[in-house]
Structure 1
Amino acid sequence: MKPIYILLIIAAYFGVLILISFLTSKDEESNDNFFKANRQSPWYVVAFGMIGASLSGVTFISVPGWVEESKFGYMQVVFGYIIGYLIIGTVLLPLYYKLNLTSIYTYLEKRFGNNSYKTGASFFLLSRIVGASFRLFLVANVLQVIIFNQMGVPFWATVTLTIILIWLYTFKSGIKTIVWTDTLQTLFMLIALGVAIVTVYNDLNIGEESLVNYISSSELSQIFFFDDVKSANYFWKQFISGAFIAVVMTGLDQDMMQKNLTCRSLKDAQKNMFWFTIVLTVVNFIFLCLGLLMTIYAQQNGIDAHKDDLFAVLAKDYLGIAVFIFFLIGLIAAAYSSADSALTSLTTSFSVDILNIEQYEEKQQIKIRKRTHVAFSLLLILVIIAFKYIIQNESVIAKLFVFTGYTYGPLLGLYSFGLFTKLKANDTFIPMVAILAPVVSYAISYYSNAYFDFDFGFFVLILNGALTFLGLLIISRKPTPAERELIFITEN
């Protein structure tokens, strides 16, 4: 397909997103709209849209490419997600709704003090900047290879255009717009997934054997791995890590929780989490099925495409124009459904948690929020361009989850300590604990792998959280009667 036609498809797609932005921003511009959508979002719309935001372009590209090396082992992590989402729905959501939070990190201020509040928000900002940049880097790289290299457009220009388009449809109404654009983007992504599976299945000429039998009979469909406790793919490591990853990347993440907090009530938000969990589990399994079919297709046809390149190469050069068009739309939809909400949540957290925007009058608040939105757009551009010279061959999703273990671990420790103990940690030393825990975790992970051949893998998140919890325990004391009453009010 000629690059000009691809550009027209992308332009039409973003035209629809901008139209949605226009329709959802007719109300008077306000920060309440931008941050919480006035808490008027239908729960089923939020649930469906969260699928795309959770999967993102990273899953769209990397999960199918993982099958060749890890088979269906990723489902061990996904099964762990179910436990994590149960914790979110029954423990965290009731807390957030009771405290009527705009930023979920405000809880840390109420529980520990200002230092822990700023520390938690800062770790989120770091995590989300890098995480969103990982996801957008992947998509920008694919677009660069497919379109812009042929047109002589440099990578930095591709990245800049990508961020400008996101800013264009989120700058006015923020999360209120994103709740609806994410729904559309999730739909496009799932259509692309279905078209790709049907096409590859037909091209394999499997005959009368059903798709289910074909997949289940393949050695690549192995899900559970119990044989090597030292391996990063060991079941209990993956399952337990999956539960904690869900808690931190959804329940302790302003990006994902901001969508939940736009629901009309706690009951609606919990229904959203229930159905979101079911659909996300099924969709991840289907992505792995696609990866199995594509891996076999590439092997049978002698195609040298592996890991993150597998889906893109097959869609572009081997599976026909229809698959390529839907692949392109699905990839962009998956990436932008994650990136637009990331930009909005970064703006929200920095405005509320760092700049204390609520102390200003309404007009000044809007000015500060707009400037913050632009600043984070520019920052994402710089970080993505930097990644061009850092990321090499390893699957992006693996890098993302490993990095998550180090940045979300302190948040896991802070919230666990706050929710499950009645002790009062010394707020002055909390930032030090939160910084030391990832450093010690990295050292333990590195040396255990080097000297004992024990790979922590995603389990480093739990190690990091446990070290944070231990550090908080060391700097804690029994609360005074006044502090005890505050803890009771916060958690009951």
Structure 2
Amino acid sequence: MNPGTVLLFFVFAYFIGLLVIAYFTSRNSDNQSFFIGNKKSKWWLVAFGMIGTSLSGVTFISVPGTVGKITAGDYPFGGFEYYMMVIGFFIGYFIVAFVLLPLYYRMNLTSIYTYLGKRFNVEAHKIGSIFFIISRSIGATARLYLVVNILQIFLLENLGVPFWLTAFVLLLMILLYTFEGGVKTIVITDTLQTSFMIISLIACIVYILSNLNLSFGEAYSILEQKQYTHLINSDVNSKTFFLKTLLGGMFITIAMTGLDQEMMQKNISVDNLQNSKKNMLTFAGTLLIVNLAFLFLGGLLYLFALENGAVYGDGAFGFRDSAGQIKNIMGDDLFPALSLGHFPLALSIIFIIGLVSALFPSADGALTAVTSSFCVDLLGMNEDQQKTEKQKKRLRMKIHLTFTVIFFILIMIFKALNDKSIVYLIMEIAGYTYGPLLGLFAFGILTKFTIEKKYAILVVTLLAPVLTYLINLFVTNNTDYRIGVELIILNGFLTFLGLWLVRKK
């Protein structure tokens, strides 16, 4: 049997398993099951499942590829520099656990943006939700595009399957198993998917160490000699200067986890605050270990490729073709190129399942979260006394389907752009879209001022990203300094400052 056919069979079997789980978890489900899992989720299940949501296909594919990239470019990190951001993430999770989670539980929120409505006004509530929907839709579909494109190039293109059909089928899969159960289903499926992702990670590490006849310590020593374990970037002007990466990682976590409905709706689905804190801190600690393992795998992948004939040349890294040209596999292509072209079939199957497992948690959670936010925040479904539960459920399903179509359109736009750096561009855009949320929540929590001027919050939250962009442009064109992940801090600060200026005196 053709290896490609075998891999597709396992992908199909994996999806059938997800549908079976969805069937059992969605029985007798209602809107509260869909939105917050009836607040009956087990904290340890949520903690483990959130690993898959946080890592996503970008981490699974991109992080290992950055290890060999020492110079700046599409892949800004080199060696283990990315780990400084992970340490920043870890610090940020403590702030989420001890500042934001108590606030959400005290107010018994279904949507975290309800806080903005109660703290300020209806305008702030809806603006917060809109910024989230835009941010999560673009970010999730960018991650989806990356994985779909890899499946297309390395597996389905040779079988004559068009890209649009691959994207359509994968989104249809996600729609089918989230349609009824929502968060109640996702808490279980994310746990399964995280398990497969970690199994794939460990299996690949074990195989490469065995193939190269190296122990863990010997492999690390070789990586150290080749500067693949380089951790601290001391160049203040660089985008990956360790201090800005550390602080940027901390604020990215606060904004993209603590102020993100997708991530928080899983946390507030846990039965009580103490268990939700346990979930957050367990998840944070596990993430430190898992990200380090992905970086170690990245170094091993480069060693494996070099041992099997790969070379550096003309800014590229890869294997020479029949014409003597180097086919570049540096970055996002490294892991799939070696897994599907140089590993045994059994390991290729494990890789594909791991890749699909990395795809689904970030996509299914995003689709459910934007549906929840639209229904609760923009339509006020929870407070609507005019519609029956059945009518609300029918409307929610229509919205869920609509966002699936929007996700498909966005993926096709990314395909039309056909730029491998698009994922990193989207991560930069997240600094612009999450910054206003960071400023809004910070102003609400850290001050007691109110905003009464009509449209004041709208003007501030639109103006802050524009000013951030102009400042970034000026700094880039006129200085040696490069703004990196601290972009979100600048945006949040400008939002906070703008709200301070328009506050009620």
Quickly say closer, same or farther: Cα 1:236–1:208, change in 2 above 3 A: closer
Q: Report the counterpart of residue 168 of structure 2 in structure 1.
A: 160
Contact kept, 8 Å, 1:114 with 1:427, in 2: the verdict is no
CA distance in 1, matches of 2:468, 2:83: 25
RMSD between superposed Cα atoms in Å:
1.4
Deviation of the 1:217 alpha carbon: 4.5
Q: When the two structures are superposed, what TM-score results if normalisation uses the length of structure 2?
A: 0.92
**Post-superposition CA distance 1:308-329 (Å, at most 9, x none):** 0010101111122122111100
User: Any residues of structure 2 matched to 1:11-410 within 5 Å, and which?
Assistant: 11-26=12-27, 28-69=28-69, 70-206=78-214, 210-226=218-234, 228-300=235-307, 301-302=309-310, 303=318, 304-358=328-382, 359=384, 360-394=387-421, 396=423, 398-410=424-436
CA distance in 1, matches of 2:216, 2:404: 51
CA distance in 2, matches of 1:451, 1:387: 31
Deviation of the 1:186 alpha carbon: 0.2
Deviation of the 1:36 alpha carbon: 1.1
Deviation of the 1:394 alpha carbon: 2.2
Percent of pairs with identical residues: 44
Contact kept, 8 Å, 1:357 with 1:368, in 2: the verdict is no
Deviation of the 1:430 alpha carbon: 0.6
Contact kept, 8 Å, 1:77 with 1:243, in 2: the verdict is yes
Q: Report the counterpart of residue 424 of structure 1 in structure 2.
A: 450
Greater Cα shift, 321-330 or 55-64:
321-330
Q: What SS does structure 2 have at the residue aligned with 1:220?
A: coil
- What residue identity is the alignment partner of 1:364? Q
User: How many matched pairs?
Assistant: 475
Quickly say closer, same or farther: Cα 1:319–1:427, change in 2 above 3 A: farther
**Post-superposition CA distance 1:74-132 (Å, at most 9, x none):** 01100001111001000000000111111100100001111111111000000000011
CA distance in 1, matches of 2:332, 2:215: 29
Deviation of the 1:201 alpha carbon: 2.1
CA distance in 2, matches of 1:23, 1:458: 42
User: Any residues of structure 2 matched to 1:425-440 within 5 Å, and which?
Assistant: 425=451, 426=453, 428-440=455-467
Contact kept, 8 Å, 2:142 with 2:422, in 1: the verdict is no
Q: What SS does structure 2 have at the residue aligned with 1:285?
A: helix
Deviation of the 1:413 alpha carbon: 0.4
Q: Report the counterpart of residue 484 of structure 1 in structure 2.
A: none
Contact kept, 8 Å, 1:40 with 1:263, in 2: the verdict is yes
Contact kept, 8 Å, 2:414 with 2:422, in 1: the verdict is no
Q: What SS does structure 2 have at the residue aligned with 1:477?
A: coil
Contact kept, 8 Å, 2:52 with 2:362, in 1: the verdict is yes
Greater Cα shift, 323-332 or 426-435:
426-435
CA distance in 1, matches of 2:419, 2:491: 26
Quickly say closer, same or farther: Cα 1:296–1:450, change in 2 above 3 A: farther
**Post-superposition CA distance 1:126-158 (Å, at most 9, x none):** 000001101110111011112321222211111
Q: Structure 1 runs of 4+ off > 6 angstroms?
A: none
Q: Report the counterpart of residue 492 of structure 2 in structure 1.
A: 465
CA distance in 2, matches of 1:124, 1:437: 16
CA distance in 2, matches of 1:176, 1:378: 23
Deviation of the 1:219 alpha carbon: 1.1
Select the residue among 423, 433, 437 that pairs with 1:411. Answer: 437
CA distance in 2, matches of 1:419, 1:229: 32
Q: When the two structures are superposed, what TM-score results if normalisation uses the length of structure 1?
A: 0.94
The gaps in structure 2 that reach 5 residues or longer are 70-77, 311-317, 319-327
Contact kept, 8 Å, 1:200 with 1:319, in 2: the verdict is no
Deviation of the 1:207 alpha carbon: 6.7
**Post-superposition CA distance 1:15-61 (Å, at most 9, x none):** 110011011122x2310111111111110000000000110111100
**Post-superposition CA distance 1:148-195 (Å, at most 9, x none):** 212222111111101100011110110000000000000000000001
Contact kept, 8 Å, 1:113 with 1:427, in 2: the verdict is no
CA distance in 1, matches of 2:68, 2:465: 31
- What residue identity is the alignment partner of 2:56? S
Deviation of the 1:209 alpha carbon: 5.3
